[in-house]
Amino acid sequence: MGRHADGYNNWRLSRELTIGLIAAVVVVGVVVWWMTARDETNRTHATASPCINGTLALPIQATDSPQLRDLLADYRGSDPVVRDYCVEPQLVSSGADAALMLASGPREITRAALGAVDRTPASDNWPVIFTTPVGIAHTADTEVSGADWPELANRGVVIPAGGNIYARAVAASALSDADADRGVDLLRTDRTVTVEDAVADGSKLLAVTEDSTPDGYAFYSPDDLAVNTVAIPLTATDRVSEEQTRAAADLARYVSDHVAQKEPDDAQRQVLSTADIISERFAAVPEQSKGSVDAGTDTLVLLDTSTNMDTLVDGHRIAGHVARLLDPLMLSVGRAGGRVALWNYSSPLSPGVTRAWRDNVTFLDNSAGRNAAEVVKGFGTGGDPLTRSAVPAALGAASQHSAETGRPVRLVIITSGTADSIDDRAFRDALDSSDSEQIVPQIVHVGTAPVDPVLADWATSKGGTAFTADMTVPSMADSLQKAFGVARP
């Protein structure tokens, strides 16, 4: 018997198969939804809170510069994460607080500077973080094209003092044709001349780094000489955590991967090698003051020896520079017939010690400044600058000596700032408690911490002075000479 059409096609699926397909679609949909939701959640978490442990400060001892700011901005842009911490670089003034230090110049000098603050490099791999070209700044009417360094040396190039002693040593090495003795002489000839002084004097040729080329001058580099600044990761201490040292190592790796590590050619290597020698020799020779002190006023020197004095200037600690600069000044006081007392201060470092100051050489000393000049070379650094605790004590000693002798006393206070808890009013009252008109307070502020305004105002109100030295050796030398009353020849 034939089959009859019923008006429906025969493509229908069985009920069981239909249910199975529906179930499969549902399962696939659930899986896709779950994976999408999970990925979206992960992305949300990564965007909203990539670092479970929060933010980790990476303390870097360095001088701020456009090159450094650009490099750190790029590093931040890479979203660095170490041990589930977001890494945030920040600049600090003391090597004791740093997980990473930037330096240029001979490794021996850098290691010595680190050793002075009990710090150790975490490795011998110090990647170049940026380079600073060294060359000649010249006026528009001075032709230098094609001239080499020795030729330019015969045309009266000035090597002005600045923030980078090693860059000056490189220029001196190039100008002296890698003669270390001549190079040191060149540096010493211009050691008190700043870029501003040279421009004001009408100098047409200045040996400078490219970033310090003065307005109105063009920069010319005879053979592409440059000074490398390296990044040095440091080991952990009680003030620098293991996490921070790992962050320092991470930044060093980033630098190695993103900054060209270019080696100098043979000629440049010779110039740089001689510059190392020039830098070391120049730093080893004490800076001499120009002129002589006044009529030999008895002088009490109160010297800050806190960790703030570990800040590097020209590759050396401020503490070392100040000690060398004080040497001839204190001896000059002695030669003029005055007595020299020497105190230092910081927060107490030894068990049982409560005073912030140490009276190392008193006015009873009659060595004409020789003992003070010797003692100052042996000071270490540590602790915080408890200036407001130490100054009234030194003022009391100076006032007592003046009362006993009937002579004036110059009180030279070399300070990096104030970390005391003593408030302004209490400090002002302590300073005003001495009514001696025979005390001449002279304040020299060094380093990058803020000036104590109460101390500065008190000094000037008593007929003294308050100098703030720039972060250069010539500025520190000039400020100290003025504080000691050096008479210019």
CATH of the domain at 413: 3.40.50.410
pLDDT at site 288: 52
Judge whether 10 lies within some domain. no
**pLDDT tens, 399-419?**
999 999 999 999 999 999 999
- For the chain, the domain total comes to 1
As a 3-state breakdown, the chain gives helix, strand, coil percent values, each rounded to 5, of 45, 20, 35
**pLDDT tens, 179-237?**
999 998 998 887 768 888 899 999 999 999 999 999 999 999 998 899 999 999 999 99
In the structure, what pLDDT confidence band is assigned to residue 19 with cuts at 50, 70 and 90?
Answer: low
Range of the domain at 472: 298-483
- Mean pLDDT computed over every residue of the chain: 85
Which residue type occupies 462? K
What value does the mean pLDDT take over residues 285-290?
51
Lowest average pLDDT, out of 150-154, 310-314, 326-330, goes to 310-314
Q: What's the DSSP call for residue 83?
A: T
For residue 48, is pLDDT > 60? no
pLDDT at site 46: 39
pLDDT at site 271: 94
For residue 387, is pLDDT > 80? yes
Judge whether 313 lies within some domain. yes
Three-class secondary structure of residue 112 per DSSP: helix
In the structure, what pLDDT confidence band is assigned to residue 163 with cuts at 50, 70 and 90?
Answer: low
Phi, psi torsion values for 432, nearest 5 degrees: -75, -10
pLDDT at site 395: 96
pTM score of the predicted model: 0.62
**pLDDT tens, 452-471?**
999 999 999 999 999 998 88
Judge whether 184 lies within some domain. no
pLDDT at site 45: 36
Judge whether 346 lies within some domain. yes
Phi, psi torsion values for 307, nearest 5 degrees: -65, -15
Judge whether 238 lies within some domain. no
Lowest average pLDDT, out of 23-32, 92-101, 169-178, goes to 23-32
pLDDT at site 14: 54
Judge whether 142 lies within some domain. no
**The pair of three-digit structure tokens given for residue 373, joined into one six-digit string:** 């000049």
Judge whether 65 lies within some domain. no
For residue 318, which of 57, 61, 65 has the smallest C-alpha distance?
Answer: 61
Calculate the CA dihedral of residues 45, 48, 49, 50 and round it to 10 degrees.
70
* Residue 422 Cα distances to 8, 318, 388, angstroms: 100, 26, 7
328 membership: H or E segment, kind and range:
helix 318-335
Judge whether 128 lies within some domain. no
In the structure, what pLDDT confidence band is assigned to residue 3 with cuts at 50, 70 and 90?
Answer: very low
**pLDDT tens, 77-133?**
999 999 999 999 999 877 888 999 998 888 887 887 787 778 899 999 999 999 999
